[in-house]
């Protein structure tokens, strides 16, 4: 009997667990391990050939005893835990799968992974994951026709379905709030028309591109931290333009940039605000002192392009109110996060939305072809989210195909080769996860 061990039963694991539990039988079993045993039990719902166990992943002996039972280990734990789990899998000679980015720690394991004939598959979720697979399908098809890819831009966002956009930001947390608050920190880099571009964090949210989706309207797209490394990953070493970015609703970036300019997303020091400190006092802490001007007036002086839609977003969060902060000690970003976690919390009936768009310019024998490939996926409610669906299903499908012998790869891999992306994309279409392509040919 083949045994799958899933570590972590969080919100993003729901579809992964359901899919793989449905493949279990006399030849395959699933063990779901989580710190919260009752949560794990609720996720597997007493399905045949499945079981739930409680685990403290920091306890090495307990962790290794569980991994020793597995043929395949799937880590849905926080990213910092992946190298630890991967090291255990390497030692115990178990295959390892994640939806997270391939880390430098895992790259150092590559020779031994290959020597032991194991498959360590990373970046097989949404972004990274579906973005790689759908892009490589277009890239490989173009190359097979002898065409040259001149430009490739790819954007993805986890947002709200239109019917749940009930605040001026048109945003709520559908994934890790900490990652949202700290998104973009560092310097973003990409290449455009052969010119290298470097965007420091304090300029990032002022450098967006407008993207449109039929029936959904406009979105802000801003560059991710590192696009340049994807030239080699996608086999586009000489491409003149390559950019990967994140999508937010139109107007979001301008408002978020206020937080960046004020320093409210800073995480390098701790604030110790007085007991009973209010939202208004927290905002005022980042503004200069003035004997006569109000907080609103000082903010307008400091942010010259502060327009009404931006002001409305800040006002809706309560930043001008005299009510107590939910957190008075911690870094500015942690205090901001505490505010946002309350105001941007998903209600049970809320539906999320995943939007992804690839923009290609391809040189053909007949002229320059522009290809726009778009994915839109909607969640059902706050538990059965589009985020969980698009993160969990690609990984589940990959594990199932591997255990059935339909994927015969070994080594350290991400899903950028046809043996991986073709069957996974095909299976995803059965769940409504499919791209719509629009092509325009310029013969001038």
Strands (E) across 135-228 are located at: 148-160, 187-192, 195-200, 209-213, 217-223
Q: Is the model's pLDDT at 338 over the cut of 80?
A: yes
Cα 344 from Cα 350, distance rounded (Å): 11
Taking CA atoms, 137 is separated from 144, 214, 279, 283, 350, in Å, by 11, 23, 49, 47, 33
Question: Which class does domain 130-252+348-385+435-442 fall in?
Answer: alpha beta
Find residue 4's DSSP bridge partners. 30, 72
Is residue 296 very low, low, confident or very high in pLDDT (cuts 50, 70, 90)? very high
The residue ranges of DSSP E strands in 180-265, in sequence order, are 187-192, 195-200, 209-213, 217-223, 241-249
Question: Could you give the residue ranges of the DSSP H alpha helices within 242-349?
Answer: 252-262, 279-284, 295-302, 308-316, 332-343
Mean pLDDT for 314-342 is 96
- Residue 329: is its pLDDT beyond 80? yes
**DSSP single-letter state for residue 322:** -
Q: How far is CA 250 from the centre of its chain?
A: 19
- Residue 375: pLDDT band with limits 50, 70, 90: very high
SS3 category, 396: helix
* pLDDT score for 93: 97
Q: Does domain 2-122 have CATH number 3.40.50.720?
A: yes
Q: Is the predicted pLDDT of residue 444 greater than 80, yes or no?
A: no
Distance CA 281, CA 406 (A): 60
d(CA 21, CA 28): 9
Cα–Cα distance, 119 to 150 (Å, whole number): 33
Q: Give yes or no for a contact between 371 and 439, defined as CB atoms under 8 angstroms apart.
A: yes
The confidence score (pLDDT) of residue 174 equals 87
State the DSSP code for 186: S
Quick check: 163 pLDDT over 90?
Answer: yes
Q: Is the pLDDT of residue 428 over 90?
A: yes
Over 80: is that where the pLDDT of 136 sits? yes
The confidence band for 170, taking pLDDT boundaries of 50, 70 and 90, is very high
Q: Rounded CA gap, 157 and 260, in Å? A: 20
pLDDT digits (tens, 9 = 90+) for 18-71: 999 999 999 999 999 999 999 999 999 999 999 999 999 889 999 999 999 999
pLDDT at position 442 is 80
> Residues 83, 85, 91, 96: what is their CA dihedral angle, to the nearest 10 degrees?
-90
Distance CA 39, CA 157 (A): 28
- pTM of the predicted model as reported, rounded to 2 decimal places: 0.92
Residue 139 has pLDDT above 90, yes or no: yes
H or E stretch at 178: helix 177-182
For residue 374, give the 3-state DSSP assignment: strand
Instruction: Give the separation between CA 92 and CA 333, rounded to whole angstroms.
Output: 40
Q: Delimit the domains of the chain by residue range.
A: 2-122, 130-252+348-385+435-442, 256-343
**CA-to-CA distance for 319 and 178, rounded, in angstroms?**
19
pLDDT band at residue 443 under the 50/70/90 scheme: confident
pLDDT value for 171: 97
H or E segment to which residue 352 belongs: strand 352-364
Q: Per-residue pLDDT averaged across 77-97, rounded? A: 96
| For residues 98-114, average pLDDT | 96
* pLDDT in the model for residue 366: 87
Strand 352-364 versus strand 119-121 pairing type: unpaired
The 10 Å Cβ neighbour count of residue 1 is 10
Residue 104 has pLDDT above 80, yes or no: yes
E strand map for 16-147: 28-34, 50-54, 72-75, 95-98, 119-121
Residue 58 is predicted with a pLDDT of 87
**pLDDT tens, position by position, 359-368:** 999 999 989 9
CA angle, corner 55, sides to 6 and 2, nearest 5? 35
Question: Among residues 359, 429, 347, which one has the least CA distance to residue 161?
Answer: 347
Residue-wise pLDDT tens digits, 175-232? 889 989 998 899 999 999 999 999 999 999 999 999 999 999 999 999 998 999 999 9
**Measured in Å, how far apart are the chain's first and last C-alpha atoms?**
61
Of 61, 64, 72, the closest CA to residue 29 belongs to: 72
CATH class of 256-343: mainly alpha
pLDDT digits (tens, 9 = 90+) for 376-411: 999 999 989 999 999 999 999 999 999 999 999 999
Average of per-residue pLDDT across 420-435: 97
Average pLDDT, the chain: 95
Main-chain dihedrals φ then ψ at residue 290, nearest 5 degrees: -150, 140
Measured between alpha carbons, how far is residue 358 from residues 123, 331, 409 in Å?
18, 36, 27
- Taking only the tens place, the pLDDT of each residue in 224-261 is 989 999 999 999 999 999 999 999 999 999 999 999 99
What's the pLDDT at 21? 96
In contact, 95 and 120? CB cutoff 8 Å: yes
Question: Can you tell me the distance from the alpha carbon of 201 to that of 51, in angstroms, rounded to the nearest whole number?
Answer: 45
What local confidence, expressed as pLDDT, does residue 231 receive?
A: 95
């Amino acid at each position: 009997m083949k045994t799958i061990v899933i570590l972590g039963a969080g919100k993003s694991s729901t579809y992964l667990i359901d899919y793989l539990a449905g493949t279990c039988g006399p030849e395959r079993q699933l063990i779901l391990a989580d710190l919260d045993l009752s949560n794990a039990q609720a996720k597997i719902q007493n399905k045949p050939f499945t079981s739930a166990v409680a685990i403290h992943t920091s306890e090495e002996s307990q962790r290794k005893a569980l991994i020793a039972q597995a043929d395949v280990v799937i880590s849905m734990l926080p990213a910092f835990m992946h190298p630890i789990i991967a090291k255990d899998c390497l030692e115990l000679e178990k295959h390892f799968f994640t939806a997270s980015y391939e880390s430098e720690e895992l790259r150092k394991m590559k020779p031994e992974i290959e020597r032991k004939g194991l498959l360590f598959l990373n970046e097989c979720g949404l972004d990274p994951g579906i973005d790689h697979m759908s892009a490589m399908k277009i890239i490989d098809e173009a190359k097979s026709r002898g065409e040259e890819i001149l430009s490739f831009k790819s954007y993805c966002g986890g947002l709200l379905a239109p019917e749940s956009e009930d605040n001026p930001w048109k945003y709520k947390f559908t994934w890790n709030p900490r990652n949202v608050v700290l998104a973009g920190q560092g310097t973003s880099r990409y290449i455009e028309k052969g010119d290298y571009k470097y965007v420091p964090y304090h300029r990032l949210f002022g450098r967006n591109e407008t993207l449109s989706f039929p029936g959904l309207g406009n979105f802000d797209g801003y560059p991710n931290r590192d696009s340049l490394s994807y030239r080699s990953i996608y086999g586009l070493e000489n491409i003149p333009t390559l950019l990967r970015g994140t999508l937010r609703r139109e107007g979001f970036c301008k408002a978020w940039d206020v937080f960046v300019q004020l320093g409210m997303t800073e995480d390098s020091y701790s604030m110790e605000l007085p007991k009973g400190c209010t939202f208004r006092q927290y905002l005022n802490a980042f503004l200069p002192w003035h004997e006569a001007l109000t907080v609103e007036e000082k903010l307008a002086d400091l942010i010259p392009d502060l327009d009404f839609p931006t002001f409305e977003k800040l006002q809706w969060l309560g930043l001008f109110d005299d009510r107590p902060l939910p957190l008075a000690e911690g870094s500015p970003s942690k205090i901001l996060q505490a505010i946002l976690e309350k105001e941007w919390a998903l209600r049970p009936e809320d539906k999320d939305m995943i939007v992804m768009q690839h923009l290609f310019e391809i040189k053909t024998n007949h002229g320059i072809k522009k290809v726009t490939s778009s994915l839109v996926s909607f969640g059902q409610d706050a538990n059965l989210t589009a985020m969980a669906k698009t993160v969990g299903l690609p990984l589940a499908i990959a594990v199932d195909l591997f255990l059935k012998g339909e994927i015969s790869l070994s080594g350290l891999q991400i899903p950028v080769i046809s043996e991986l992306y073709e069957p996974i994309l095909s299976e995803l279409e059965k769940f409504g996860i499919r791209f719509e392509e629009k092509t325009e040919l310029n013969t001038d």
